[in-house]
C-alpha cells in the first residue's frame, strides 16, 4: 500500500506542473469530436477519484462482498461542463480528492484491504480496486495529458 501512496503523492505534484505549462488552447483542444480535451480528461479523473473515494470508504463497512457499481463516464464529464471550468478549479478538485484518498489509504489495515468485492462476474479485493484506481489514473495521465 505504501508504494501506491507514494505514487499518488508523486502525481499530486506532477499533474499540476503539467497543466501550468500548457496554454488554454492545449488544454481545451479536442483531437476528434468523440475525444475529450485535456481539461475533460482531468475532469474524468476527478470523477474517478470521487467515485473511488466513496467505494474505498464503503467497502470498509458495507455488506461483504461489496458490489461495485458502474457509472456513465461520458455523461459525468459532459454534464459537469469541465471544458468551461477554469483549470485551477479542476486542479483544486482533483488534488483535494486525491489527498483525501491518500488519508483513507493510510488508515487501511491489511485485513481491510483483503475485503472481497464483486465487479460483475469478477471477484476482487479492496487492494485490487485501489491498484486499479492508480493504474487508471496513470494510464490517462501518460496517454492524454
Following DSSP, what letter does each residue of 85-139 receive, concatenated?
S-HHHHHHHHHHHHHHHHHHHHT--HHHHT-EEEETTEEEEHHHHHHHHHHHHHH
Q: What is the pLDDT of residue 99?
A: 99
Query: What are the domain boundaries of the chain?
Result: 2-20+36-144
Classify residue 82 by its DSSP letter. G
pLDDT in tens, 84-106: 999 999 999 999 999 999 999 99
Which residue positions in the chain have pLDDT lower than 70?
none
According to DSSP, the residues that pair with 118 across neighbouring strands are: 67, 123
pLDDT at 90 (0 to 100): 99
Confirm or reject CATH 1.20.120.450 for domain 2-20+36-144, answering yes or no. yes
Q: What was the pLDDT predicted at 98?
A: 99
CA 109, CA 25: separation in Å to the nearest integer?
44
Judging by DSSP bridges, how do beta strands 122-125 and 66-67 pair with one another?
A: unpaired
Terminal CA-CA length for the chain: 25
Amino acid at each position: 500500500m505504501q508504494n501506491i501512496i507514494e505514487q499518488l503523492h508523486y502525481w499530486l505534484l506532477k499533474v499540476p506542473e503539467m497543466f501550468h505549462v500548457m496554454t488554454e488552447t492545449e488544454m481545451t483542444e479536442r483531437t476528434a469530436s468523440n475525444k475529450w480535451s485535456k481539461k475533460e480528461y482531468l475532469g474524468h479523473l476527478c470523477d474517478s477519484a470521487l467515485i473511488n473515494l466513496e467505494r474505498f470508504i464503503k467497502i470498509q463497512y458495507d455488506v461483504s462482498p461489496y458490489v461495485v457499481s458502474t457509472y456513465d463516464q461520458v455523461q459525468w464529464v459532459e454534464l459537469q461542463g469541465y471544458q468551461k471550468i477554469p483549470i485551477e478549479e479542476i486542479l483544486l478538485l482533483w488534488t483535494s480528492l486525491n489527498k483525501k484518498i491518500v488519508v483513507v489509504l493510510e488508515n487501511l489495515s491489511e485485513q481491510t484491504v483483503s475485503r472481497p468485492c464483486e465487479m460483475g462476474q469478477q471477484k476482487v479485493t479492496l487492494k485490487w480496486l485501489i491498484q486499479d484506481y492508480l493504474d487508471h489514473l496513470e494510464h490517462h495521465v501518460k496517454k492524454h495529458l
